[in-house]
Amino acid sequence: MSLYWRIFGLNAVVLGAATALLLWAPVTVSVPVLLTEAVILVGGMAVMLVANAALLRVGLAPLDRVTRLMTTVDLLRPGQRLPVRGGDEVSELVSAFNAMLERLEKERAASSARALLAQEAERRRIAVELHDEVGQSMTAILLALKQAADEAPDPLRGELRQVQEITRESLDEVRRLVRRLRPGVLDDLGLVSAITSLATEFATHTGLRVKRSFDPDLPALDNGTELVIYRVAQESLTNAARHAEARNVKVSLYREDDHVVLEVSDDGRGVGVAREGAGIRGMRERALLIGATLDITPVTRTGTRIRLAVPAVRKQS
């Protein structure tokens, strides 16, 4: 029975009983109203209001749950659904809302995949241009400065050496940016070597004390999965260095049941109640692409632990 007919039927029963009571029972309404008559009328009204309130509370409770989920749903945390009970209009509404969430999650995952693939392609293009054009030009400038310094008189030679050193440092910075934009070591030497190189680079340039722990029997993963793990590790280290004000970071990569787990924990100021920024949301989007789960939790009094659990699907040959 639909919610409309349940409410209508309950009101009809209560009003019919009150009418029958007035027609056939020895109950009358006097003027002025007697105390006993007032008690009967007020009691009947109270019974009708309580019955209607109880029915509306039970019948409309799923709508309250839908409203709360609408205000808190996050497409980067898929799987949030409401239970469907019964077959009335409210249940149909809940089913439609769950189906809408399913479609939105699929569309969000597809659009995120396209955006991230385009982002990686753009990073590769920029890395190639920096390496082939800017890098080669700066190398040519270094050679010209060296030749000019060798032939210059002593007062000018020192200044040319300083310019040469500044140019060499700038070239090193360009090469570092190229490695961050396009992790060639990931394609050449694998995931463990790439994360090791990444951790070493962060420790050198930021002053972080980075501790590494890698299982020796990690399964081989496809290129897309390894790239997601690498990017999550990169963003986690970046957050620890720039935002968390951490001094010590531990990077772990291990196998747990049928998952490969990346864990990055620091001793910084913790996640607190701040709203997630673009970096963390980007990590969540990458995790969705490979069916992984990303958990960000506080560690003891301070610090943050970022845990990425990736299904251990073997690399296709």
Torsion of CA 124, 130, 135, 141, to 10 degrees: 170
Give the span between the Cα atoms of 141 and 147, in whole angstroms: 10
User: From the CB of residue 307, how many other CB atoms can be counted at a distance below 10 Å?
Assistant: 18
User: Residues of the chain whose pLDDT is less than 50?
Assistant: 273-274, 317
Extract the tokens encoding 133: 């054009």
| 190 φ/ψ sector (left φ>0, alpha ψ -120 to 50, else beta) | left
Give the span between the Cα atoms of 98 and 237, in whole angstroms: 37
Instruction: Give just the sign of the alpha carbon dihedral 9, 11, 17, 19.
Output: negative
> Which residues have a Cβ under 8 Å from the Cβ of 299 and sit 6 or more positions away?
265, 266, 267, 270, 305
Give the span between the Cα atoms of 254 and 252, in whole angstroms: 6
Residue type, 56: L
What pLDDT shows up at residue 71? 76
What pLDDT shows up at residue 50? 81
Give the span between the Cα atoms of 214 and 169, in whole angstroms: 32
> Which residues have a Cβ under 8 Å from the Cβ of 316 and sit 6 or more positions away?
222
Beta sheet of 304-311, edge-to-edge order: 209-214, 248-256, 259-266, 304-311, 293-298
What pLDDT shows up at residue 271? 61
For residue 32, cis peptide bond before it (omega within 30 degrees of 0): yes
CATH number of 186-317: 3.30.565.10
Give the span between the Cα atoms of 78 and 55, in whole angstroms: 33
